[in-house]
């Protein structure tokens, strides 16, 4: 009994001695502990970096180079999310430094960090050079292709693009080598004075997770979606940093191999539903069957930009032949290519199939084992002989394989021509046109309608072979006095190159007429993409001040602001359909509706008498006919980076903003509708290619869905 009373007394005493803590007390204690934890963690990481300074310099150096790359490309410096991403990725790879425990660990650890720094410099230098030409960031699939096809092609322009600024990132390598060779004395520290710290792996991973969490908190659900899709590479680098972007790109590069294993049933359902809702019926308008039965010679005009048409310098036309064809034919003066990293090959693909390039890599390289539906296949079924010509090696851009996939029955590549005149990357356009006509004569003798594509070459960056281009004057004469203007500049050389290319188009038509090959033939001309000239070149072109031999000052009222939207809208390329047939020329017109490369084949198909049911673009003349009022005519042009254009706006997907083109304003409903439609087209087009929609029987897909 006494024992029980003592226990009860002790229990009461114990309870009374520990009063219940309030909420605020608990909260205060929590923050106090958190503060102590952070302070301790900072002390620990400080000790870690003091004992391993190379780790610190590696992380800071890589992060700084990431900031530098964004500053020199996308002009993004102060955003916190890519900085956090670069730090997190650098920390993650640095953590493996502490796993090297061999007796020679000091040497191997240093070599490991040196290896990481070299990789980071390759990433930054490579992307810096690539951005100069493509205004985008590099894909590992393009690198592997360029290495395998080093003989000729776009990969060869690198030498011209490289400048001193591209190698600014090498400071890190020089500095790191200096640190490796520098002898430093470590201050001695008594064992008892050294605070106990967690294992370096635990420390660096703890900070990696903290920084990664902070980084993830800066992102929105939409950012994660974009990261997966990888359409807009500029946006990804501005949000995720260059290193995380590059890792994602490597992972995405294996998608073609994995596509058949995952997601095919969902993709099939998505594509099928889209076509059920959006398949365009066969057009019926004033242009239907206008070219039915005619031969077609299409000129794939390298780097031909629309701004050159109608341009005069010192009273002389830059493109007299194209100007004439545009006036007497059907001229689309608001026409855009829709290329990605595949450049010319992307245009070949989109023109023929009315699909868009893929979100990673190039269709010609990464998806050459898929099946496609194209206008050339339809023409073959109609009895046409289809062929293509290009005086480049057949394996470049994998054309030997892909031209068959697109429906060309014959590809006349470099080995089909006599290389008697060279310029830049191969046979001159002048010699190419002469030899092409001789081949066309033989084809014409078979008395079978034909469709041929002639891919030109001379008007290709870097536009440096001025001796071939001739002496077209790009100076400026005012009141009898001559000023340099564009002489010696890259854009000046481009104009000379364009004038040369235009001359050869004129030569082709002259030779065709001489051989009586124009009577039942239509000529189709399209620029494959813009000239990839820098902002400064266009600034000189539009804002030259002859009084100072420089460009207008920022506050000069005569100055045209060559900003992002001006630059993008200036990328228009010509699209002309011409025939000397009098009945055809009654239908000559200038089409000002916003038009994309994926509209080209559906528009031509209607004129040739067939319908390409799988097209994602539509016949422009049917769009015009179906519009109730002229002011209601509208067409959506979707670009592979997520940007899009209509008659009323140009939308920048990177900044999620737009520029008005015609109206004073557009409704939120209109903007949302266009955004959703553009996103759907990109998704469907990509799924068609990645999952080989046209190459697998629908029954197989249906069975998979049932399972």
pLDDT in tens, 383-413: 999 999 999 999 889 999 999 999 999 999 9
The alpha carbon of residue 613 and the mean position of all alpha carbons in its chain are separated, in whole angstroms, by 27
> Which CATH number goes with the domain that contains 275?
3.40.720.10
Residue 17: inside a domain, yes or no? no
| 372 and 415 within one domain | yes
| 152 and 289 within one domain | no
Residue 7: inside a domain, yes or no? no
| 246 and 274 within one domain | no
| 281 and 212 within one domain | no
Residue that is last in its domain, among 253, 276, 296: 253
User: Cβ contacts of residue 342 below 8 Å, gap of 6+?
Assistant: 349, 357, 361, 362, 363, 364, 365, 397
How many other C-beta atoms lie within 10 A of the C-beta of residue 619?
28
Residue 420: inside a domain, yes or no? yes
Percent of the residues in the chain that have a pLDDT greater than 70, as a whole number: 85
How far is it, in rounded angstroms, from Cα 623 to Cα 627? 6
The count of C-alpha atoms lying within 13 angstroms of the C-alpha of 462, restricted to the half-sphere facing its C-beta, is: 12
pLDDT in the model for residue 533: 93
Helix (H, G, I), strand (E, B) or coil at 426: strand
pLDDT in the model for residue 388: 98
> Strand pairing of 644-645 and 637-638?
antiparallel
Count helices and strands in the chain by DSSP H and E runs: 28, 22
> 449-489 pLDDT, tens per residue?
999 999 999 999 889 899 999 999 999 999 989 999 999 99
Residue 10: inside a domain, yes or no? no
Helices 535-543 and 490-514: angle between axes, nearest 10 degrees: 80
Cis peptide before 462 (omega within 30 of 0): yes
| 412 and 284 within one domain | yes
| 96 and 54 within one domain | yes
> 528-576 pLDDT, tens per residue?
999 999 999 999 999 999 999 999 999 999 999 999 999 999 999 999 9
Mean pLDDT, the chain, integer: 87
| 292 and 167 within one domain | no
pLDDT in the model for residue 705: 46
pLDDT in the model for residue 151: 45
The whole domain housing 429 covers: 265-305+317-458+495-530+576-706
pLDDT in the model for residue 150: 47
> Strand pairing of 295-301 and 450-455?
parallel
pLDDT in the model for residue 707: 47
Residue 561: inside a domain, yes or no? no
pLDDT in the model for residue 77: 80
pLDDT in the model for residue 29: 63
Residue 483: inside a domain, yes or no? no
pLDDT in the model for residue 377: 98
How far is it, in rounded angstroms, from Cα 101 to Cα 199? 13
Residue 556: inside a domain, yes or no? no
pLDDT in the model for residue 47: 72
How far is it, in rounded angstroms, from Cα 477 to Cα 114? 56
pLDDT in the model for residue 156: 46
Report which of 629, 658, 303 is spatially closest to residue 493, judged by C-alpha positions.
Answer: 303
Mark the ranges of the chain whose per-residue pLDDT is less than 70. 1-42, 44-45, 48, 102-104, 141-162, 183-198, 255-263, 697-707
Residue 6: inside a domain, yes or no? no
pLDDT in the model for residue 31: 57
Residue 504 contacts residue 458 (beta carbons within 8 Å): yes
| 293 and 222 within one domain | no
Q: How many domains does the chain have?
A: 2
User: Cβ contacts of residue 626 below 8 Å, gap of 6+?
Assistant: none
Report which of 355, 328, 300, 310 is spatially closest to residue 575, judged by C-alpha positions.
Answer: 300
Angle at 533 between CA 527 and CA 538, to 5 degrees: 105
């Amino acid at each position: 009994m006494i024992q029980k009373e003592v226990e009860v007394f002790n229990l009461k005493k114990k309870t009374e001695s520990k009063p219940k803590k309030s909420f605020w007390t608990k909260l205060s204690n929590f923050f106090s502990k958190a503060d102590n934890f952070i302070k301790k963690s900072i002390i620990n990481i400080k000790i870690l970096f003091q004992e391993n300074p190379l780790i610190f310099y590696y992380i800071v150096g890589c992060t700084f180079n990431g900031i530098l790359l964004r500053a020199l490309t996308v002009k993004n410096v102060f955003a916190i999310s890519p900085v956090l991403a670069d730090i997190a990725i650098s920390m993650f790879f640095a953590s493996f430094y502490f796993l090297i425990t061999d007796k020679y660990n000091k040497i191997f650890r240093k070599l490991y960090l040196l290896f990481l720094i070299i990789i980071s410099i390759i990433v930054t230098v490579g992307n810096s050079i690539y951005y100069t030409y493509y205004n985008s960031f590099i894909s590992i699939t393009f690198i592997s292709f360029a290495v395998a096809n080093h003989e000729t092609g776009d990969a060869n322009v690198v030498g011209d693009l490289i400048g001193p600024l591209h190698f600014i990132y090498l400071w890190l390598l020089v500095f790191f080598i200096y640190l490796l060779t520098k002898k430093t004395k470590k201050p001695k520290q008594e064992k008892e004075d050294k605070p106990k710290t967690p294992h370096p792996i635990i420390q660096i991973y703890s900070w990696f997770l903290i920084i990664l969490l902070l980084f993830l908190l800066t992102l929105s659900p939409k950012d994660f979606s974009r990261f997966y899709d990888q359409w807009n590479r500029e946006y990804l680098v501005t949000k995720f940093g260059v290193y995380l972007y590059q890792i994602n790109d490597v992972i995405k590069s294996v998608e073609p191999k994995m596509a058949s294993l995952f997601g095919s049933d969902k993709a099939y359902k998505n594509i099928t539903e889209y076509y059920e809702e959006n398949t365009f019926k066969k057009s019926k308008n004033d242009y239907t069957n206008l070219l039915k039965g005619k031969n077609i010679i299409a000129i794939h005009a390298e780097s031909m930009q629309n701004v050159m048409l109608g341009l005069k310098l010192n009273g002389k036309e830059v493109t007299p032949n194209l100007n004439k064809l545009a006036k007497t034919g059907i001229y689309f003066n608001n026409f855009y290519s829709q290329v990605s990293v595949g450049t010319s090959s992307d245009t070949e693909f989109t023109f023929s199939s009315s699909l868009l390039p893929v979100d990673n890599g190039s269709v010609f390289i990464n998806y050459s084992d898929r099946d496609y539906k194209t206008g050339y296949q339809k023409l073959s079924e109609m009895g046409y002989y289809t062929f293509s010509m290009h005086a480049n090696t057949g394996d470049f851009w994998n054309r030997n394989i892909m031209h068959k996939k697109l429906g060309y029955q014959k590809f006349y590549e470099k080995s089909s021509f006599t290389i008697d005149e060279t310029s830049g990357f191969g046979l001159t356009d002048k010699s190419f046109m002469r030899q092409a006509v001789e081949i066309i004569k033989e084809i014409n003798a078979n008395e079978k309608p034909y469709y041929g594509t002639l891919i030109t070459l001379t008007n290709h960056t870097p536009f440096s072979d001025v001796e071939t281009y001739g002496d077209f004057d790009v100076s400026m004469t005012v009141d009898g006095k001559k000023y340099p203007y564009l002489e010696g500049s890259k854009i000046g050389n481009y104009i000379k190159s364009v004038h040369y290319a235009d001359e050869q188009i004129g030569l082709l038509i002259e030779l065709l007429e001489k051989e009586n090959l124009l009577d039942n033939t239509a000529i189709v001309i399209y620029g494959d993409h813009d000239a990839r000239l820098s902002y400064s070149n266009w600034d000189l072109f539009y804002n030259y001040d002859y009084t100072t031999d420089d460009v207008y000052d920022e506050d000069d009222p005569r100055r045209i602001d060559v900003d992002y939207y001006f630059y993008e809208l200036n990328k228009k390329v010509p699209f002309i359909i011409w025939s000397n047939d009098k009945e055809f020329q009654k239908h000559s017109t200038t089409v000002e509706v916003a038009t994309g490369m994926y509209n080209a084949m559906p528009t031509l198909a209607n004129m040739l008498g067939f319908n390409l049911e799988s097209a994602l673009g539509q016949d422009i003349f049917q769009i015009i006919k179906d519009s109730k009022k002229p002011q209601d005519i509208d067409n959506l042009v979707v670009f592979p980076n997520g940007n899009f254009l209509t008659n009323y706006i140009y939308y920048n997907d990177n900044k999620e903003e737009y520029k008005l083109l015609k109206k004073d304003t557009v409704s939120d409903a209109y903007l949302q509708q266009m955004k959703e439609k553009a996103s759907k087209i990109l998704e469907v087009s990509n799924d068609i290619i990645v999952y080989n929609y046209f190459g697998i029987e629908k029954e197989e897909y249906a069975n998979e869905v049932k399972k």
